[in-house]
Structure 1
């Protein structure tokens, strides 16, 4: 059976931009999103070989959904300038790598993927969809599988959503995903659902009544506030379902490929790639083009000792094979001989901030410290929708504090007022003269911006430091702590649980959350002291 690999370029573009450090070329041109997406494509080509492939992006302009509901995606901020400037060169690089690239006016990338998946299914072609978009789960069936190669703190390896995977993740079969999403709504796309109805209630109703249509037919039998809210939403739900449903019939839209034969990977344009890699300062990939000049493969890969490929998102346990396509031997030798030893501090003096006096005392520390560590604890890893649960700080090794703000489990202790606390902290966070360090501060920067705070004074980021020092290794905080400090930090799963039993951070007890969050800030400060001296003279 032949295989079609469809890549949701738009999904990975945004995720790469938000997930990766602010990488730039020597000329100051932002390159993080480009690097992330290209790394993912290289990884996919190696690990999911296919007869046909395509990378699909949203076209510019409005879609049919805007005609149905003018408020569709109206809550989204405009694309950041640093991301917008990367789109066109990214498209150039993808095409130079030999990948077919598709954009269809009037519809979204999801719809193009859905239409191609249905066409392939009809022809007996197996389909793999690579995306981080949960909406794609509605397309899963015996012939269609969704994979998510973007790593996160809660999962090791790729997420595979076949029929069983969808049921395990959502508690529902794929054919009920549209009904499920219609009920809970989609805050990212500004599609309202039923007020106060979350995933658990939606799953319960669908398991009991079997479909959204049956829920609507039995709306008068559902009691309580949620039942009342359901009845208020009855007129809206058909529109919500239409917005959520991926449009799989695009015969009337121009730009769809005439046949799958046009979606075969082509030989890469090495001259163009060399030009782009030089512009982006992707030196390792640029070297590969020279060493792989006689290769018949359309896509160049970075080979490791175990035969795997690696990219910016990968975290292999083995070092790269030392060759012309890896770091020069002399450079690696110099890194080893100039290693700076750092002795981790295991003393802990952590504090939970529950009173105004405690907060004022910590604000005074933050104002006078030469370098402060700042970290946000949130309800999710999605920067566009995550809500602040609390903030943690550290000003010296071995110390840390956690300011809980929105823990709302039963019997949670009284916490300081959310708005007043942020107003007090804001001048410090926005002061460019107060130097900050963090682990992936780009994420915290987005979260704080969602609450009207512009984080300034960013001096160091341990994730970026790690990438500069050891690009081939994992850059997660837990891995860094074990590698550089010989410390095994408290894991997220230890505090929030695993799998279906995992709770949002606002449901973690303040006592447990405080130990976890304050430790994060303390360890990040220690990681800076351990890694930075090893790269500051490079």
Structure 2
């Protein structure tokens, strides 16, 4: 029989690690939660790995400990806990109480002492012990049956250092209990334990390896040959023994040995559900199956499985009579470019839901043949969730969806663009208090994911069969909230219509000249080889440029460049470090270029080759409406919005993007300085408005005002600096960042910003007012009432609050620009469709639209695009665009 096991967790230490290792999270009302979230992920990772029978969590108390009485300076230099972390501690404890996990706190002692005493009791009872801590002081507790796990969490991912008795002996050359003697010599700056000056870890370990402990070391002090070390040891002998005492973990507290209290048991589901709802931990609510206060059968849905075409015909009559079609679909990705409709649940808006299983009962082609007229009937209003992919699928089956009236996913995005999840089960739980099963959870993720068609048919029917009815309730709730927020126009006129635009863009795709791409790949590889050769020549030897370790040795040891930053494994060779060094040695510029070229090759050459559809010869990107908090559209598989344009080789990759055939040409329409025009409108700044109304170059105009020269005296350098200030202001840039961008002093950058705000006073006024508004309301809006909630702006932490202020400044501008381009897209799409033109909108990249235009329609389409984009919004300044034509994307710029 396996030994029983106890897991003892250092609460403060792990909470602290989680706080700094997990991106800042907060609830909708501004309560920070990232430390709790990270703590739970770490704890359950180890619970699943270790399967303990006993578990407890130790916490420090604020009261002084016996160590403070021993030494007044103990932990004197340690800063207090950040407010964003301290506010989470009581909630963390509440979570543990609801989980029925024993919390241990003891006045006068630290969490380390609790770990030590509980672990010793457990060892004496024959239990296996696992200590989870972020504090290496606990290595002294390792034993033959006691292991120490030290998690390292970065960007939400946790890796573990694990120590047992043997590893410590092998790695450090001492036994665990000797760590306190090492600490006696080297001290611990984090706890303000003094140690012996001049003795670091390396020397301390060497001495304790040789002499075993402090007593024996001082007994043989005359053997120490290093004069300075010996003198310091003699001078600070008393301090060494004090430091050892301060480092020693107390292990003799028998009151902590009541192991029945530590049994790992069933949680209190009601309390846990309540606290998780308060923390808005939906993923944990699902993980712990803290489901419904409203049972599924109380939803009262009548799910009928459709077995034949005859039944479909009879249902079709009901749908046509009702004029409503609520539906939820499941599509399987069966291959790289192959998708298959697995099942469909639909209703006419009441509790009767029909379920079609295309894998096991109804033939898909027969279904579409029968229901094509329903999907294409404008008078039958369609309601769905994340409908875009279904629209694309219908197009592939020669069906055009008409009458789209509501998409619950897009409505949820408008109401809260910062949500992590828009799956229907989450929305149902949060908005209408219905706790329904998640089909996404049932299917699994990553390697564990299964195709919908391979899942138990009855279970799938039971889950998604409820979704159409849930949609009716969500629609009702969302319409009310959109009305309250004054967001109905944004939803219906922009976002809902945009779904069909994006679906059409995805379906049509963007043709890639594969031969040109392969030629470009060869050219790029040749360029990489040339740069690599130059790097080797400058270094005087060959080495692995991709190895930070080898590169660091070349730069900082061989070439003796100044060390900017060190990591745990050596010298940092990160991009920002190399940027600081680029004027110190010509090798740096070559390395930066090499990295850009290698990334270009792996991401945009090899990457593109992997996503060209073998059937169409095109790239069919996915355009996402619910990813960015600003309202911008993003694209994936591949991300065509991120193709680099600063590097000439990056720009050249656009040559591979071509029209579908020789009858077409590409048209690129780009808004000119749209964000600055929006800024002029929002701030109502007379100087800025005047510059745009007079069709002046805004950067030249700004340079003239800020630097006090006439427009004719503005040099390219001054214009470039003014441009950086113009766009920097839009993004809430500070003097430090601007100084980095321009390569000037912080003082100069501050003067530029101050001078800018003097010349554009309404911009300063806007900056003050919008931050005040964000603090009062908790959100800011665009010109079209898109909201972004900013809990960070109320933070007590300067850096977090500053981020919130930058978001408040930028969102109305960037978000309004995003809305304007969306309106333009909708207008272009409508006009092209209305006139039944062959030309198509195929891509949107930030402020530009790319169309594939039939050569016979060039003038007509240019006029449509120009009018649609210029009239997308009525601002105090004109919206100007640049239109260019080309045989490939490169030629249009």
Shift of 1:238: 1.4
Q: Give me the whole-angstrom Cα distance separating, in 1, the residues matched to 2:161 and 2:51.
A: 17
1:144 to 146, 149, 160: 146
Q: Give me the whole-angstrom Cα distance separating, in 2, the residues matched to 1:427 and 1:455.
A: 25
Q: Are positions 1:205 and 2:207 aligned together?
A: yes
Q: Give me the whole-angstrom Cα distance separating, in 1, the residues matched to 2:38 and 2:747.
A: 31
Shift of 1:34: 0.8
Alignment partner, residue 176 of structure 1: 178
Alignment partner, residue 446 of structure 1: none
Alignment partner, residue 26 of structure 1: 28
Alignment partner, residue 119 of structure 1: 121
Worse-superposed segment, 26-35 or 257-266: 257-266
Q: Give me the whole-angstrom Cα distance separating, in 2, the residues matched to 1:94 and 1:111.
A: 20
Alignment partner, residue 273 of structure 1: 272
The answer (yes or no) to whether the contact 2:443–2:449 under 8 Å persists in 1 is: no
Alignment partner, residue 244 of structure 1: 247
> What per-residue deviation string (whole Å, max 9, x for no partner) do you get for residues 316-373 of structure 1?
9746679999xx9x9xxx9x999999x9999899x9xxxxxxxxxxxxxxxxxxxxxx
The answer (yes or no) to whether the contact 1:137–1:174 under 8 Å persists in 2 is: yes
Q: Give me the whole-angstrom Cα distance separating, in 1, the residues matched to 2:8 and 2:753.
A: 44
The answer (yes or no) to whether the contact 1:390–1:403 under 8 Å persists in 2 is: no
2:235 to 227, 232, 257: 232
Q: Give me the whole-angstrom Cα distance separating, in 2, the residues matched to 1:71 and 1:151.
A: 30
Given the superposition, is the C-alpha separation of residues 428 and 269 from structure 1 closer, same or farther in structure 2, using an over 3 Å criterion? Answer: farther
Shift of 1:428: 7.0
Alignment partner, residue 58 of structure 1: 60
> What per-residue deviation string (whole Å, max 9, x for no partner) do you get for residues 493-535 of structure 1?
xxxxxxxxxxxxxxxxxxxxxxxxxxxxxxxxxxxxxxxxxxx
Q: Are positions 1:11 and 2:13 aligned together?
A: yes
The answer (yes or no) to whether the contact 1:432–1:456 under 8 Å persists in 2 is: no
Given the superposition, is the C-alpha separation of residues 24 and 152 from structure 1 closer, same or farther in structure 2, using an over 3 Å criterion? Answer: closer
The answer (yes or no) to whether the contact 2:5–2:53 under 8 Å persists in 1 is: yes
The answer (yes or no) to whether the contact 1:392–1:402 under 8 Å persists in 2 is: no
Q: Give me the whole-angstrom Cα distance separating, in 1, the residues matched to 2:65 and 2:753.
A: 41
The answer (yes or no) to whether the contact 2:151–2:161 under 8 Å persists in 1 is: yes
> What per-residue deviation string (whole Å, max 9, x for no partner) do you get for residues 9-39 of structure 1?
1110111112221111111111110101111
Q: Give me the whole-angstrom Cα distance separating, in 2, the residues matched to 1:317 and 1:202.
A: 47
Q: Give me the whole-angstrom Cα distance separating, in 1, the residues matched to 2:275 and 2:800.
A: 32
Q: Give me the whole-angstrom Cα distance separating, in 1, the residues matched to 2:188 and 2:582.
A: 30
Give 3-state SS (helix, strand or coil) of 2:191's partner.
Answer: coil
The answer (yes or no) to whether the contact 1:389–1:404 under 8 Å persists in 2 is: no
Alignment partner, residue 263 of structure 2: 264
Given the superposition, is the C-alpha separation of residues 284 and 156 from structure 1 closer, same or farther in structure 2, using an over 3 Å criterion? Answer: closer
Give 3-state SS (helix, strand or coil) of 1:194's partner.
Answer: coil
Shift of 1:268: 1.0
Q: Give me the whole-angstrom Cα distance separating, in 1, the residues matched to 2:153 and 2:8.
A: 19
The answer (yes or no) to whether the contact 1:140–1:162 under 8 Å persists in 2 is: yes
Alignment partner, residue 780 of structure 2: none
Alignment partner, residue 489 of structure 2: none
> What per-residue deviation string (whole Å, max 9, x for no partner) do you get for residues 132-185 of structure 1?
2111111111121111233469x9842221112212442322121111122111
Alignment partner, residue 485 of structure 1: none
Q: Give me the whole-angstrom Cα distance separating, in 1, the residues matched to 2:259 and 2:443.
A: 30
> Any residues of structure 2 matched to 1:293-304 within 5 Å, and which?
none
> What per-residue deviation string (whole Å, max 9, x for no partner) do you get for residues 276-322 of structure 1?
2222221122234446789xxxxxxx9x99999xxxxxxx9746679
Runs of at least 5 residues in structure 2 that lack an aligned partner in the other structure: 294-437, 453-459, 472-498, 511-516, 536-562, 585-739, 757-796, 808-893
Given the superposition, is the C-alpha separation of residues 401 and 97 from structure 1 closer, same or farther in structure 2, using an over 3 Å criterion? Answer: same
Larger relative contact order, structure 1 or 2 (CA cutoff 8 Å, min sep 6): 1
Q: Give me the whole-angstrom Cα distance separating, in 1, the residues matched to 2:243 and 2:233.
A: 13
Q: Give me the whole-angstrom Cα distance separating, in 2, the residues matched to 1:215 and 1:143.
A: 30
The answer (yes or no) to whether the contact 1:391–1:404 under 8 Å persists in 2 is: no
Given the superposition, is the C-alpha separation of residues 389 and 68 from structure 1 closer, same or farther in structure 2, using an over 3 Å criterion? Answer: farther
> RMSD value over aligned CA atoms?
4.9
Q: Give me the whole-angstrom Cα distance separating, in 1, the residues matched to 2:443 and 2:207.
A: 48
Q: Give me the whole-angstrom Cα distance separating, in 2, the residues matched to 1:197 and 1:102.
A: 36
Shift of 1:377: 6.6
Given the superposition, is the C-alpha separation of residues 208 and 94 from structure 1 closer, same or farther in structure 2, using an over 3 Å criterion? Answer: same
Alignment partner, residue 579 of structure 2: 400
- TM-score norm. by structure 2 comes to 0.36
Number of aligned residue pairs: give it. Answer: 369
The answer (yes or no) to whether the contact 1:305–1:318 under 8 Å persists in 2 is: no
Shift of 1:454: 6.3
Shift of 1:216: 1.8
Given the superposition, is the C-alpha separation of residues 201 and 112 from structure 1 closer, same or farther in structure 2, using an over 3 Å criterion? Answer: same
> What per-residue deviation string (whole Å, max 9, x for no partner) do you get for residues 67-96 of structure 1?
000110000111111111000001001121
The answer (yes or no) to whether the contact 2:269–2:290 under 8 Å persists in 1 is: no
The answer (yes or no) to whether the contact 1:111–1:248 under 8 Å persists in 2 is: yes
- TM-score norm. by structure 1 comes to 0.58
The answer (yes or no) to whether the contact 1:54–1:101 under 8 Å persists in 2 is: yes
Shift of 1:219: 2.5
